[in-house]
Amino acid sequence: MERVMRDGGAIAPEYPLCFDERFSGRVIATEENGQVLSACATLVRDFVCGGRSLRVGLIGSVCTAPEARGRGLASAILLRAEEKLASEGCVLAMLWADDARFYEERGWRPMGAEVDFALEPAHEGRLAGTAGIRAAAPDDRGAIHRLYTLQRERVERSAAETSALLEAPGMEILVLQRERDLVAYSCLGRGKDFAHTVHEWSGSDRDVLALVREHMHRARLRGESGPTFVITPPTALGLHDRLRGIGANWSEGVLAMGKLLAPEGAAALLAELAGPQASISVDSDSAQGAPTVTLSGPRGALELSPEDLLGLLVPPRGRRHALDETARATGLDLSALPLPLFAWGLDSI
């Protein structure tokens, strides 16, 4: 992995949950003559999402040694990772792809939503500052973890996991302290990922924006002249209003690429969210190979492929088109969808 993805440099400090034995992530590898030729990392995470828990398998650092490419090794590793995560109870798998086409050809689809803002240096003066902001110190980690757990959308992360993640290289972590308490924090950058990007934060809207202002101020002092990006969950409506109010550019992005691993579990979740009028049946031996789910409501029934199911539960960019079509065809109320699934920057692998 280091040879392919970091020119021989270290990768483990960036992803402690995958590569530090204290934590639950695993590496899957294919070897020939004692040489690792292809590998990826996996991590099982329980997402807290709309008040429920959803088990998701993360896959990262998929790579094949240059001399062994084009032999199907990464395709096989990906299948092994999917099977392993399914056997560990994951309803779906997620990954952040450099080469989306490779994954699309293997059944992966863009899924979920985030709202991304780009703040130009001129926006700094339009954000309100506040006293009490400083760089995080090692003994702030417990308080930062508590602030993380206040987020409605997040993953179940232990204090030890947060602490290890905060040690990742190349990250600027700021905290806002009032009296004795930390009331907000924010993280910019992470190893080779999230350059100039605030990717994880918690606190009141006003306090988080004061932290963003300080990140921008520090970037200016470093001589950087480009924009600062802020990644937010679609549910952070108050923060969105404030950022639009100062004229920041924004766009709706996809959260990740995803693949359904357990159609039965996903179908049960869809039935629950579609209300008492919904009934659902799963045909595991359908002619197409993949199980087919039939969703029925007062107006009619629809056959759904695993991809359709993923697109209803966590549609790309949160777009409701497929949900509205399904609601029309079945007569079901699908207003409880999509699921507000969101991963913060330190949760990605």
Residues of this chain that bind ligand COA (CB under 6 A): 4-5, 38, 62-64, 69-75, 97-99, 102, 105
> CA of 120: how far to CAs of 50, 125, 199, 240, 316, in Å?
33, 10, 17, 16, 27
Nearer to ligand COA, 46 or 193 (CB): 193
| 123, two tokens | 């926006």
Q: Name the DSSP letter for residue 284.
A: T
Number of Cβ within 10 Å of residue 267's Cβ equals: 23
* CA 32/CA 38 separation, integer angstroms: 10
Q: How far is the CB of 11 from ligand COA (least distance, A)?
A: 12
Q: CB of residue 227 vs ligand COA: minimum separation in angstroms?
A: 25
Nearer to ligand COA, 41 or 295 (CB): 41
The structure tokens 């539960």 sit at 313
Between CA 184 and CA 179 the distance in angstroms is 13
Nearest distance, CB of residue 76 and ligand COA, angstroms = 7
Nearer to ligand COA, 76 or 160 (CB): 76
Cβ-based burial of 102 (10 A; exposed 0-12, middle 13-18, buried ≥19):
middle
Smallest separation (angstroms) from ligand COA to the CB of 70: 4
Q: Map tokens 């907000």 to a residue.
A: 184
Q: Which residue is nearest to ligand COA (CB)?
A: 72
- Closer residue to ligand COA (CB): 70 or 245: 70
- The length of the chain is 349
Nearer to ligand COA, 5 or 282 (CB): 5
Q: In whole angstroms, what is the distance from residue 111 CA to residue 322 CA?
A: 13
Tell the smallest beta-carbon distance from residue 251 to ligand COA (Å).
22
Sign of CA dihedral 64, 69, 75, 76: negative
Q: 38 vs 296, which CB is nearer to ligand COA?
A: 38
What is d(CA 142, CA 156) in angstroms, rounded to the nearest whole number? 15
The distance of closest approach from Cβ of residue 261 to ligand COA in the complex, given in angstroms and rounded to an integer, is: 18
Helix or strand or coil: residue 272? helix
51 vs 289, which CB is nearer to ligand COA?
A: 289
Residue pair 263/90 in contact (Cβ under 8 Å)? The answer is no
Taking the complex as a whole, the smallest distance from the CB of residue 334 to ligand COA amounts, in Å, to 32
Of 119, 250, 137, the closest CA to residue 185 belongs to 137
Beta bridge partners of 59: 42, 95
Judged by beta carbon, residue 78 or residue 266, the one nearer ligand COA is 78
Query: To the nearest whole angstrom, how small is the minimum distance from the Cβ of residue 109 to ligand COA?
Result: 15
| Residue given tokens 């690792």 in the structure block | 36
